[in-house]
Amino acid sequence: MTDVASAALTRTDFFDRARARLTLDPPPGLTDPDAIPLRGDHDADPVAKAMAAVRPIKPAAVLIPVIDRDEPMVLLTQRTAHLPQHAGQIAFPGGKIDATDASPLAAALREADEEVGLAGSAVEPIGYLDVYMTTLGYRIVPVVARVRPPFTLTLNPGEVESTFEVPLSFMMEVSNHQTHSREWQGLTRTFYAIPFGERYIWGVTAGIFRNLQQKIYGT
């Protein structure tokens, strides 16, 4: 892809491309331990694949809520600081897939409703991205969806501190995708990051944004 921002990414173009390139057919690699997902923490750090391989599989799903404004925006959450995992991090609405969930889509919609009160009636599901594998054993199915304003949100204070919107064009611009590193349990880990003003979007969330860019605008 060339320069999304300067090409004035439009909502019509994005949603048309997404509908043409994505489906709601279940993506492979969600629960099969012998199927290593194409996407994951190992995109930026090859060591992550070996680490993930020894973890129990934890199926999960997240919603990528693209808000159908004149300039398309993506809704993100800031996790509360007291959570046992991913405390304070920026994330998509989502969580683990329960046995009662009919599909990854159902799980993503349920979690979005539980976390931020986003009603399913405002959401038009478009399709799945590739399963994203993390070093902690999570296999995450991202669900791209169109969100029609106006809508209201009611945050679950036990999980979400706040929500905010980022311009889709900024997140799709490859020059904004960076690789950073930090020490973790005695190892130097490399990961994707997309700083946005005072916000630091990194790890799984940044990796999924990168996969979104590749699926929708890649060749």
Instruction: For residue 120, give the H/E element and its range.
Output: none
Q: What does the pLDDT look like over 106-160, one tens digit per residue?
A: 999 999 999 999 999 999 999 999 999 999 999 999 999 999 999 999 999 999 9
Q: Is residue 35 situated within a structural domain?
A: yes
CATH number at residue 109: 3.90.79.10
Q: Is residue 178 situated within a structural domain?
A: no
Say what the pTM is. Answer: 0.92
Per the CB < 8 A criterion, the answer to whether 117 and 137 are in contact is: no
Q: What does the pLDDT look like over 29-64, one tens digit per residue?
A: 999 988 889 899 999 888 888 888 888 999 999 999
As a whole number, mean pLDDT of residues 198-209 equals 96
Q: Is residue 40 situated within a structural domain?
A: yes
Q: Is residue 131 situated within a structural domain?
A: yes
Q: Is residue 2 situated within a structural domain?
A: no
CA–CA gap between residue 97 and residue 115 (Å, rounded): 14
8-state DSSP, 127: E
Q: Is residue 148 situated within a structural domain?
A: yes
- Domain count within the chain: 1
**Which segments of 5-125 does DSSP mark as H helices, in order?**
11-21, 47-53, 104-116
Range of the domain at 18: 11-161+183-217
Q: Is residue 193 situated within a structural domain?
A: yes
Is residue 79 predicted with pLDDT exceeding 80?
A: yes
Q: Is residue 50 situated within a structural domain?
A: yes
CA–CA gap between residue 135 and residue 195 (Å, rounded): 22
Q: How many residues belong to the chain?
A: 219
Confidence of residue 13 (pLDDT cuts 50, 70, 90): very high
The per-residue pLDDT for 83 is 59
